Structure 1
């Protein structure tokens, strides 16, 4: 083919094609060379001082680009993981999953599909195993809750059966007497009741500090009036227990026997009234698990009760005076029969240590409060847990039955005192009693017309019954109020404190 013919020749066309690639490569190299030469010229200008860089800072573009690349790759990886995560199409399960992960179960304007994508996105960040772990934690908490409400019963000795029959025969006549008194009280005119109540409230408002006595070198942990209201027993963290005459607060006797903090000392019913002074009249317990029995004639214990391996926080006499109840931090409470001189009941049921125990005025029931924030009411005649009281947020440190037989007060570390109605098994009223944990609660022992509480805010308070309104604040202690008590005749109130003193309060 000649050059004169129409159309470009094939050879020339190929030469132009390859020639254009070479020119492009050459141009790129030249441009690169010019850039390198330009960079060299800039460096030379900087060195000569003709170009001033005042900040002295430079930005590494490569690092910035790498950072953006890493973020983009991470986002891409999350989207890839999210596509591989299987999420339930049930909207209820999706909401449950979001709740378990601590995310809001729904957002404004969010539909089921958007919610599924949000759950998938969250799982792509925290990992798909996070939902399984949270569900396991929920199941574990649920099992723990069930264990708290589960009661364990053990076969007891033959003496326990005899004791239960004895308790039934003892409690039934007392219950009849209590109900007859309640019926008689119901027949009293309302105006008369109101007048009596006003007089009692006026007397309580006039309560003043009658006596303040330094009881020991260490905090006074507990105080308890004798049945004849003529003596007061105090327990101290020094290991000493002391008997004081009231109301003059003179020391009668120092009881020596414990080697560590004494948690409680209580008079036996009828001590100083019908019991001889040589009989067992008091019982005390300490943090080393020791429980000791005392009379009113000797400074030394007359007997030791052995069997506790951990701290015994409280001891309480049964109204009959035959049985002694002890609470232990091994999650159990025990009943001791002093006639047969043995432990007849070792009862579990709390998931943590049992701190306090109190017997029903009839002698048929006992209430226990534990560090698991639950209270239980046990039927001593059958051995069953008849009422489970749930509502406190922290440990229960004190329980006390009202003389009316159907109200129970509990004091807790959540700074509240709850009053429970055992007839319908519910919380009747929650008293926001103090600014710190409530260490002790006591109903008036004669007719239960007021409730006394002591707390770690250095105060004790008196509340009306049944209105539960504050009547009087007993302020004067410089430390935590650790124990309170009301004399059986209802005339005196005692408070013991961390400031090593106990105080008597009397209406003038």
Structure 2
């Protein structure tokens, strides 16, 4: 661009900067000339004997002059570089650059124009490459942080390899049967399916409190039906677990063994069906990290599972009955092989404690929900995390697979229930379910045609599937609903509460 093409403002700025440099050079030459005359005068005074230098001390004026000259020239060079540096006019970007350089982003009384000039002066000293280097360091630190957050794997024992092979052989035939049943259900005419669904919804709207029983002196934290739907087991903060007959709710046995709050107790998949009463039929866990195995004919534990150093929140049987899953507040969950009588998997992956665990009906997957507000779906046959459930704003307290094999529900401290689709690998619906944290979610165990959620707003609610519209609110507890469960035959719903009672709900 020629000088004629430049605007008057550019010409004035050039004249201004040019005049400043000329004045500075003139001042420098005057100081140099004056210093030269002073130096000659000092030499003449020494020669005439008028200046005494007997002490040997002298001041080298040449060094002081050269130092002054270098400072002035460096200042000239810095100003020249500053004029050549381009600084963004976006004040937010200017602040980001100052932050990246470790400088204060705002100084009292400073406006955007002064801030831009300050950034320009800083860059003229440290160089524009310093900003690029700081950005590269930030990117590198972000990448390293992301790498640290990735799930890592290490080689396990041979027993784990054998268990993975066994799980693959166990789950694949079950998956084939489930898919065949789904195809057969799809062949049923739409009208017939609609009529059945309407009948089901009508029955659910008529749910009423069938039985209410005081279960303990302390809050009841968990309840579960037996596989034959004729018994219910409850866990309490008193450390006691109790076995009740259904539907008359009479106490059958009190299981004594824990000395602190019991978090959960679970029936073996074949308990009350094919297992003997003397076999291991139940397992429970407590806040002190203890896990105990129970039979049906004794009120003392059969055995203990040791190895947890922190609170064990949930304990769940694998559908095969061979494996046992436990979740721990040491940010991990574990898989135990009861045939080999050892821990075969200690799986990390959550950044905070793991609260709930549920196995896929085929036995191929495990879902975990953590206090880090994330859920994970693990493939037990390979050990990989196949799906990351991200979306909840607070802790996940419950996770449950649907019998259809591809839906997962999670209940969270953000008062919502999210429904996930394993096929689409994403959340398909968020239910604004309750007024307080959701403590438990459970699909209908037979067909998964509805979902029940329990929460700390003292209620449990029934939701349609699909559609997720509310069908019935189960109100009656005077305290937080700590857990919900449905009988395997689909006839009863159980809720247990902080008010020390459990209730049975049945359609009229």
Q: Same fold (TM over 0.5)?
A: yes
Quote the residue 2:362 is aligned against. Answer: 362
**Matches of 1:317 and 1:193, distance apart in 2:** 32
**Matches of 1:137 and 1:394, distance apart in 2:** 28
Flag the 1:499–1:430 CA change in 2: closer, same or farther, 3 A: same
Quote the residue 1:253 is aligned against. Answer: 253
**Matches of 1:285 and 1:88, distance apart in 2:** 65
Quote the residue 2:462 is aligned against. Answer: 462
Quote the residue 2:267 is aligned against. Answer: 267
Asked if the contact 1:94–1:119 (Cα under 8 Å) also holds between the matched residues in 2, the reply is no
Larger radius of gyration: 1
Flag the 1:120–1:468 CA change in 2: closer, same or farther, 3 A: farther
Cα offsets for 1:186-205 (capped at 9, x unmatched):
11111111100000000000
The residue correspondences of 1:161-176 to structure 2 (distance < 5 A) are 161-176=161-176
Quote the residue 2:87 is aligned against. Answer: 89
In structure 2, the residue corresponding to 1:242 is in which secondary structure? strand
Across the aligned residues of Structure 1 and Structure 2, the Cα RMSD in angstroms comes to 2.8
TM-score (norm 2): 0.75
Asked if the contact 1:88–1:94 (Cα under 8 Å) also holds between the matched residues in 2, the reply is no
In structure 1, the residue corresponding to 2:307 is in which secondary structure? coil
In structure 2, the residue corresponding to 1:217 is in which secondary structure? coil
The residue correspondences of 1:261-410 to structure 2 (distance < 5 A) are 261-410=261-410
**Matches of 2:347 and 2:113, distance apart in 1:** 50
The residue correspondences of 1:67-86 to structure 2 (distance < 5 A) are none
Flag the 1:96–1:165 CA change in 2: closer, same or farther, 3 A: farther
In structure 2, the residue corresponding to 1:253 is in which secondary structure? strand
Quote the residue 2:244 is aligned against. Answer: 244
**Matches of 1:115 and 1:463, distance apart in 2:** 56
- Any unmatched runs of 5+ in structure 1? 1-83, 102-113, 123-132
**Matches of 1:415 and 1:171, distance apart in 2:** 34
- Any unmatched runs of 5+ in structure 2? 1-81, 100-110, 120-133
Quote the offset at 1:154 in angstroms. 2.6
Quote the residue 2:484 is aligned against. Answer: 484
**Matches of 2:474 and 2:202, distance apart in 1:** 15
**Matches of 1:100 and 1:313, distance apart in 2:** 47
Quote the residue 2:436 is aligned against. Answer: 436
**Matches of 2:327 and 2:307, distance apart in 1:** 12
**Matches of 2:98 and 2:215, distance apart in 1:** 54
**Matches of 2:291 and 2:94, distance apart in 1:** 51
The residue correspondences of 1:126-205 to structure 2 (distance < 5 A) are 147-148=148-149, 150-205=150-205
TM-score (norm 1): 0.75
Quote the offset at 1:389 in angstroms. 1.1
**Matches of 1:327 and 1:234, distance apart in 2:** 19
**Matches of 2:423 and 2:435, distance apart in 1:** 30
**Matches of 2:288 and 2:449, distance apart in 1:** 37
Flag the 1:330–1:197 CA change in 2: closer, same or farther, 3 A: same
Quote the residue 2:231 is aligned against. Answer: 231
The residue correspondences of 1:94-105 to structure 2 (distance < 5 A) are 94-95=92-93, 97=95
In structure 1, the residue corresponding to 2:466 is in which secondary structure? coil
Cα offsets for 1:383-407 (capped at 9, x unmatched):
1111111111111000000000000
**Matches of 2:116 and 2:433, distance apart in 1:** 44
Asked if the contact 2:240–2:255 (Cα under 8 Å) also holds between the matched residues in 1, the reply is yes
Asked if the contact 2:219–2:237 (Cα under 8 Å) also holds between the matched residues in 1, the reply is yes
Asked if the contact 2:94–2:115 (Cα under 8 Å) also holds between the matched residues in 1, the reply is no
Flag the 1:93–1:266 CA change in 2: closer, same or farther, 3 A: farther
Quote the offset at 1:145 in angstroms. 6.5
> Quick check: 1:215 aligned with 2:207?
no
Quote the offset at 1:136 in angstroms. 10
Cα offsets for 1:52-76 (capped at 9, x unmatched):
xxxxxxxxxxxxxxxxxxxxxxxxx
Quote the offset at 1:95 in angstroms. 3.7
Asked if the contact 2:89–2:116 (Cα under 8 Å) also holds between the matched residues in 1, the reply is no
Quote the offset at 1:424 in angstroms. 1.4
In structure 1, the residue corresponding to 2:440 is in which secondary structure? strand
Quote the offset at 1:312 in angstroms. 0.2
Flag the 1:142–1:310 CA change in 2: closer, same or farther, 3 A: farther
Quote the residue 2:420 is aligned against. Answer: 420
**Matches of 1:96 and 1:146, distance apart in 2:** 30
Flag the 1:248–1:389 CA change in 2: closer, same or farther, 3 A: same
**Matches of 1:486 and 1:221, distance apart in 2:** 16
**Matches of 1:240 and 1:424, distance apart in 2:** 43
Quote the offset at 1:89 in angstroms. 2.0
Quote the residue 1:7 is aligned against. Answer: none
